Structure 1
Amino acid sequence: MKKKIKIIGSGFSALAASCYLAQKGYDVDVYEKNSTIGGRARQLKRDGFTFDIGPTWYWMPDVFERFFGDFNKKPSDYYDLIKLSPAYQVYFGINEFVTIADNLPEIVATFESIEKGSGEKLTTFIKEAQSNYDIAIKDLVYRPGVSPLELVTLETAKKVDQFFGNISKDIRRRFKNKKLVQILEFPVLFLGAKPSDTPTFYNFMNFADFGLGTWHPKNGMYSVILAMEKLAKELGVTINTDSNVEKIIVENGKATAIVINGETLSADVILSGADYHHSETLLDEKYRAYSEKYWESRVFAPSSLLFYVGFDKKIENVEHHSLFFDVDFDVHAKDIYDNPKWPEEPLFYASFPSKTDENSAPVGKEAAIFLIPLAPGLNDTDALREKYFEKIMIRLEQLTQQSLKNNIIFKQSFCVNDFINDYNSYKGNAYGMANTLLQTAFLRPKLKSKKVKSLYFTGQLTVPGPGVPPALISGKLVADLIQKHS
């Protein structure tokens, strides 16, 4: 008889794990607390507009190809990919912006036009970043974080100094222009830590950016979730929504069942793709591997204040992905990481998917997503949300030189309280635990419970870390561990 695996959650990592486990011959059931699947990557539809609630950037296409390739499939079997050209635009002031092209030669030329000699330096920098990408993404991140020896290879031995330096110093050593520095530091924010706290080795994110480009799946990132759902079902996975897991039952030191709506469902293995901290609260305290003190001491990636806005006209002077760096990057970073508080003048990011995808908004209208990174755990009120929407709309109008406020059909917001309510997210974090030196690989919470047999975890609080591609990899890693130990 097939061994039964119950999976908690239906985000990228949980769905990936469900596919791998079904492929290995397990009987797999997925339980999602919300009414739709996808975890943080759900979708909002309203008045003819469609928004990705969570991730909007499709980077590292090779990781998606590798995932589907493991099932003899291709992403194109399920969804269409559009390479964005330009990749994105960064605003530093009125009529002061830098456009990042969809290819390295043009980006090199842009750098050179801003700072003489920087084009050649960028070429060298991206070559180093590509070398690190090849080591990290093709090898290191596919290791399960069980032992420190996983990080010791011939290639990493040659780069040991890069684990102890930081990206900020390395970039500033090469480039002097503040705009170029900020553009090169930006991809690190996907790792959930300040550039000054992120090991130099992680410059592979710059290769992901400039080398591999920025893509958009037609109909949004939710297309990838739907693709994974289809693949999972093809493999025999059963997916249940509106199924909030209330408890993980342990008998004789082994996870044996989950409780949903008062009903006990037995299992041979339990895997949680839900928030790791929350997942452990489903256990009696003596079975928890990590204390509240442990979680308090971790460096968490930011939370976010998000707005989903429908406009009754097309917006000018913006690209699909637009970054607004017209205020001090370092001050905002301190408000997130050093002295957590609502920032006075926040950087923000905007996505206008209807620039690329006609299905995102009715004809002649524009769909917009705005994101302000915030420290997790902040006080979150409607009044604060309104105050910050006003701040970014004033700046958006000034920087793009157009009137927009009177063209808003509707807006919906999502912030700390929603991350907690919808995803049981620790302190309302949006991206998990930051990839700092002391929270890398084997130093992250484990995929396999240290205290309970047959209990496993996957997702952004464990190995390899935050982001959509790492979530896919996390699902593969935990499935391999389960097969090895059960």
Structure 2
Amino acid sequence: MTTAVVIGGGVAGLATAALLGRAGLEVTLIEKNDLLGGRVGMHDQDGFHFDTGPSWYLMPDAFDRFFAQLGTSTEEHLDLVPLSPAYRVFSEGFAPVDVESGIENVEKLFAQLEPGSAATTRKYLASAQHTYDIALRRFLYTTFRTPAPFINREVLPQFGPLISLLARSLQSWVERDFSDRRIRQILQYPAVFLSSTPRRTPAMYHLLSATDLVDQVRYPRGGFRKLVDALTQLAVEQGVHIRTNTPALGISTQPGPKGRTQVTGVRTPDGHIPADIVVSGADLHHTERDLLPKQLWSVRSWRRKDPGISCIVACLGVQGELPELVHHQLILSADWERDFAAIAPTASGTAHDFSRSVYVCKNSATDPSVAPEGCSNIFILIPVQADEHFGSGGSPQVETIVDAVISLIEERTGAALADNIMVRHTLGPTDFHREYHAWRGNAIGLAHTLWQSAFLRGRNASKKVDGLYFAGATTVPGVGLPMCLISAENVVTRLKEEGKLRRD
């Protein structure tokens, strides 16, 4: 039986381990922390239950496909609740706007905000859906091992438009069609969830509007820990040996055929775990710099990469139900160019600045189990520049920013937060660096810029070490929970392409 070690017990690591176990491998998964889930974190205190990581459930087809491969279904593991509205937008200087998913709903809303825009809206959403469908069929579930994804009857006629979408920014693509600031912000803010900014994100990613505006936004009752629980259960059912509190100290190698280097296992504090295959679901920079011998990674290549953004997370347990807030809301500044300048890698703002355009989640609006009766569970995401020295939760730098954002939220929404806080828990870029080995303390993964998208983002197999593969947000296809599940499947696909697993 072929043996495999998976490094990292985040979503990508758990998913990869489960699929490899299903394929008949003897799999050991190691995780440095005491809890599984990686950036899908959690914090429980005084009856409040917080998700400290991902909080949007999008691309349901990706989840359905993953669970089906393990002989089960999403419905068997997750209780999904449709959200209405999908989210609320507080754009500075305007009354709040509720966004309901569905083409007709969005067309009606945008026509109210910008009279005469109905036809343009329908065309924009059709383009988003079309681009999303092509990406799903041709560019996400692929290893880019060969040019096959580009050489087919579906893609070749679209090659010119797709190149144009890659070369043009999301900002210019949206602003070409719409002039109302609220519409522009609704269509551009998803760049933040790609660890980037609208000016640096290719227009190809307008496809994201198909996931929240065309499709329905959902929430897994009980929080995203339920996804981690499901992945853990499935991995165990497939015979995976899970070892927490077991950091990887190094990836072992030896000379292989034809002058190549071959993986032989993983070193841990408890000893060496031999393996024919190693899959790292850990941060790619950490994997290459800290776990491989120095001669097997390139300092120069990382100088050209964009780490993406980081963030400060504030989890607040608040007395009162805060009716001004729904499940998801975006609180956006009028001068959001300044906000994006503050978080870009070449930030023009002052050191350790932050974005005044923030995301707030109140999942107690949908799920009473996450907060005591009559209370609200509040999650605030504040984008900041990626810098592992920025500060951790509880540090003066982080707490000062959280205080400022709480005041900002109160001012723009009318929700009474500051005087009613019962529980407060914060995280900063330094925590992401320490807990997850995140490069420069980034919070989401490498930015989706032109040079870090699709086949330009990288590979899911090492160029220098045979038997070493990668999964997760820092490799292909990209950031987000669905992408992590897809990256797990792509590892299995690559092993089949290389003849190391039997094709079904």
The match for 2:327 is 320
After superposition, where does 1:409-448 map in structure 2 within 5 Å? 409-448=422-461
Q: Is the 8 A contact 1:31 1:243 kept in 2?
A: yes
Q: Is the 8 A contact 1:445 1:461 kept in 2?
A: no
Q: Deviation digits for residues 87-133 of structure 1, max 9, x if unmatched?
A: 00110136621110133322211111111111221111111111111
Q: Are residue 351 (structure 1) and residue 361 (structure 2) matched? A: yes
1:251 is aligned, of 254, 262, 270, to 254
Q: Quick one: distance in 1 between partners of 2:377 and 2:191?
A: 26
Q: Is the 8 A contact 1:327 1:345 kept in 2?
A: no
Q: Is the 8 A contact 1:42 1:52 kept in 2?
A: yes
CA shift in 2, pair 1:234/1:8, >3 Å: same
1:204 is aligned, of 203, 207, 211, to 207
Q: Are residue 282 (structure 1) and residue 295 (structure 2) matched? A: no
Identity value in percent: 30
The match for 2:279 is 271
Between 302-311 and 199-208, the greater mean CA deviation after superposition: 199-208
Q: Quick one: distance in 2 between partners of 1:197 and 1:94?
A: 26
Q: Following TM superposition, by how much is the alpha carbon of 1:360 offset from its aligned partner in structure 2, in angstroms?
A: 0.8
Q: Tell me the TM-score normalised to structure 1 length.
A: 0.96
SS at match of 2:228: helix
Q: Is the 8 A contact 2:42 2:49 kept in 1?
A: yes
Q: Which amino acid aligns with 2:104?
A: P
After superposition, where does 1:67-82 map in structure 2 within 5 Å? 67-82=66-81
Q: Following TM superposition, by how much is the alpha carbon of 1:148 offset from its aligned partner in structure 2, in angstroms?
A: 5.0
The match for 2:385 is 375
Q: Is the 8 A contact 1:91 1:322 kept in 2?
A: yes
SS at match of 1:6: strand
SS at match of 1:274: coil
Q: Quick one: distance in 2 between partners of 1:9 and 1:55?
A: 17
The unaligned stretches of length 5 or more in structure 2 are: 256-260
After superposition, where does 1:86-101 map in structure 2 within 5 Å? 86-93=85-92, 96-101=95-100
CA shift in 2, pair 1:425/1:174, >3 Å: same
Q: Quick one: distance in 1 between partners of 2:304 and 2:185?
A: 28
Between 166-175 and 332-341, the greater mean CA deviation after superposition: 332-341
Q: Deviation digits for residues 134-181 of structure 1, max 9, x if unmatched?
A: 100133111113345534444333223323222221211111111111
Q: How many pairs align?
A: 483
Q: Quick one: distance in 1 between partners of 2:239 and 2:277?
A: 17
Q: Quick one: distance in 1 between partners of 2:20 and 2:47?
A: 37
1:239 is aligned, of 239, 242, 257, to 242
SS at match of 2:154: helix
Q: Quick one: distance in 1 between partners of 2:338 and 2:226?
A: 36
Q: Which amino acid aligns with 2:314?
A: F
After superposition, where does 1:29-178 map in structure 2 within 5 Å? 29-93=28-92, 96-147=95-146, 150-157=149-156, 158=158, 159-160=161-162, 161-178=164-181
Between 437-446 and 451-460, the greater mean CA deviation after superposition: 437-446
Between 326-335 and 238-247, the greater mean CA deviation after superposition: 326-335
Q: Following TM superposition, by how much is the alpha carbon of 1:257 offset from its aligned partner in structure 2, in angstroms?
A: 1.8
Q: Are residue 362 (structure 1) and residue 360 (structure 2) matched? A: no
Q: Quick one: distance in 1 between partners of 2:404 and 2:95?
A: 19
Q: Quick one: distance in 2 between partners of 1:362 and 1:232?
A: 33
Q: Quick one: distance in 2 between partners of 1:205 and 1:228?
A: 25
Q: Deviation digits for residues 455-476 of structure 1, max 9, x if unmatched?
A: 1111111110111111110011
Q: Deviation digits for residues 32-54 of structure 1, max 9, x if unmatched?
A: 11111001112211111111111
Q: Following TM superposition, by how much is the alpha carbon of 1:192 offset from its aligned partner in structure 2, in angstroms?
A: 2.2
CA shift in 2, pair 1:224/1:344, >3 Å: closer
1:183 is aligned, of 181, 186, 204, to 186
Q: Is the 8 A contact 1:88 1:321 kept in 2?
A: yes
Q: Quick one: distance in 2 between partners of 1:38 and 1:476?
A: 18
SS at match of 1:223: helix
SS at match of 1:465: coil
Q: Tell me the TM-score normalised to structure 2 length.
A: 0.92
SS at match of 2:301: helix
The match for 1:471 is 484
